[in-house]
């Protein structure tokens, strides 16, 4: 997993991991601090490591986003007020994550996607992604996040961190994407609700038809598509970027993220490859 090739690793800290997605604007501060420490330890162990960190909006952005229907296009002045509230809530969590990382000694650099994002019917058509590359070249750790965006068709939309990574990976060509959440990977059902759910350890593009029927919506409120959309995007991405490995894993166990960044994946995870 090490980035000895010079290629960056993209790391997503899922909204379900760093917030309580069932309670509005509720951060799991102890988890954010621990994850920041693990990232710092990995950077100290491997000074060549290049990281882009993204995080979900969790219970900060998803609640107002759902309330005002931002993803599908807001209606009228009240809707645009909700658009602004959703942007503010997402930025608030980003500030919290960034400040926590800075306090551990990480050169975390917050980057607001909505400042330069433009979509067309939910698809990114423009984003000043080269700012991310410039930050990496200067030894910074860009911190991006799921955010609102103006949309030429809908008026407004929400772009998830997974969608930002999908766009960014085609430009930066990372070696690995780590999607770190509350659950250990892709399951045959929602493992938080169904004790019979079984982990799917490996997924390739040819498996899509087989696992589609088993996928269930994510736990809690999520306006960006949940697990099914995540799997669909990542399978498409491993076909587009040769050699890319995408890992869905849990960040609940102490040390799991640090070890994954240094090349040792957890026993229980789901790996996507072409």
The answer to the question of residue 1 being in a domain is no
The answer to the question of residue 4 being in a domain is no
Type and span of the H or E element at 176: strand 176-181
Burial of 197 (0-12, 13-18, 19+ CB in 10 A): middle
| Res. 4 pLDDT band, cuts 50 70 90 | very low
Structure tokens at 231: 């799997």
The residue that leads in pLDDT, 195 or 112, is 112
Kindly report the CATH number assigned to the domain that includes residue 227.
Answer: 3.40.1160.10
Local structure of residue 55 (DSSP, 8 states): E
Type and span of the H or E element at 186: strand 186-187
What percentage of residues in the chain have a pLDDT greater than 90? 83
- pLDDT computed for residue 222 by the predictor: 64
The answer to the question of residue 228 being in a domain is yes
The residue that leads in pLDDT, 109 or 5, is 109
Q: For 32-41, 43-52, 78-87, 180-189, which range has the lowest pLDDT when averaged over its residues?
A: 180-189
- pLDDT computed for residue 190 by the predictor: 79
CA distances from 178 to 94, 162, 212, 217 (A): 19, 11, 21, 20
- 88-129, pLDDT tens digit by residue? 999 999 999 999 999 999 999 999 999 999 999 999 999 999
- pLDDT computed for residue 144 by the predictor: 99
- pLDDT computed for residue 211 by the predictor: 79
The answer to the question of residue 3 being in a domain is no
N-term to C-term CA, the chain: 17
Q: Does residue 56 have a pLDDT over 80?
A: yes
The answer to the question of residue 2 being in a domain is no
Strand pairing category for 245-250 and 176-181: parallel
- pLDDT computed for residue 224 by the predictor: 57
- pLDDT computed for residue 207 by the predictor: 87
CA distances from 146 to 14, 35, 51, 195, 262 (A): 10, 18, 17, 30, 26
Averaged pLDDT score across all residues of the chain = 93
Kindly report whether the global pTM for this prediction surpasses the value 0.85: yes
Q: Does residue 2 have a pLDDT over 70?
A: no
Question: In the β-sheet with 123-126, what is the strand arrangement from edge to edge?
Answer: 123-126, 118-120, 147-151, 155-159
- pLDDT computed for residue 194 by the predictor: 83
Q: Does residue 219 have a pLDDT over 60?
A: no
The residue that leads in pLDDT, 254 or 224, is 254
Host domain of residue 62? 9-272
**What average pLDDT does the segment 138-162 reach?**
98
Number of domains in the chain: 1
Q: How far apart are CA 254 and CA 36, in angstroms?
A: 11
Q: Does residue 33 have a pLDDT over 70?
A: yes
The answer to the question of residue 236 being in a domain is yes
- pLDDT computed for residue 223 by the predictor: 57
Q: Does residue 1 have a pLDDT over 80?
A: no
Strand pairing category for 245-250 and 270-272: antiparallel
Q: For 165-174, 218-227, 232-241, which range has the lowest pLDDT when averaged over its residues?
A: 218-227
């Amino acid at each position: 997993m090490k980035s000895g090739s010079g290629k960056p690793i993209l790391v997503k800290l899922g909204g379900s991991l760093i917030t309580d997605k069932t309670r509005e604007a509720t951060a799991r501060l102890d988890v954010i601090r621990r994850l920041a420490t693990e990232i710092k330890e990995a950077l100290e162990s491997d000074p060549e490591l290049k990281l882009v960190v993204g995080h979900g909006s969790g219970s900060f952005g998803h609640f107002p986003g759902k309330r005002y229907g931002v993803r599908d296009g807001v209606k009228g002045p009240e809707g645009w007020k909700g658009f602004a509230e959703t942007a503010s809530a997402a930025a608030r969590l980003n500030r919290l994550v960034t400040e926590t990382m800075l306090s551990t000694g990480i050169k975390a650099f917050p980057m607001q996607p909505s400042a330069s994002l433009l979509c067309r019917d939910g698809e990114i058509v423009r984003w000043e992604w080269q700012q991310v590359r410039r930050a990496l070249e200067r030894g910074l750790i860009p911190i991006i996040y799921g955010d609102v965006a103006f949309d030429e068709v809908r008026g407004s939309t929400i772009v998830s961190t997974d969608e930002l990574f999908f766009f960014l990976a085609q430009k930066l060509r990372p070696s690995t994407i780590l999607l770190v959440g509350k659950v250990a990977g892709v399951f045959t059902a929602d493992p938080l609700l169904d004790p019979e759910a079984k982990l799917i350890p490996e997924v390739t593009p040819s498996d899509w038809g087989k696992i589609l029927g088993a996928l269930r919506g994510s736990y809690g409120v999520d306006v960006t598509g949940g697990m099914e959309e995540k799997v669909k995007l990542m399978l498409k991405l491993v076909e587009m970027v040769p050699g890319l490995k995408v890992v869905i894993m849990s960040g609940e166990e102490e040390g799991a993220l640090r070890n994954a960044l240094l090349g040792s994946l957890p026993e229980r995870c789901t790996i996507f490859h072409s």
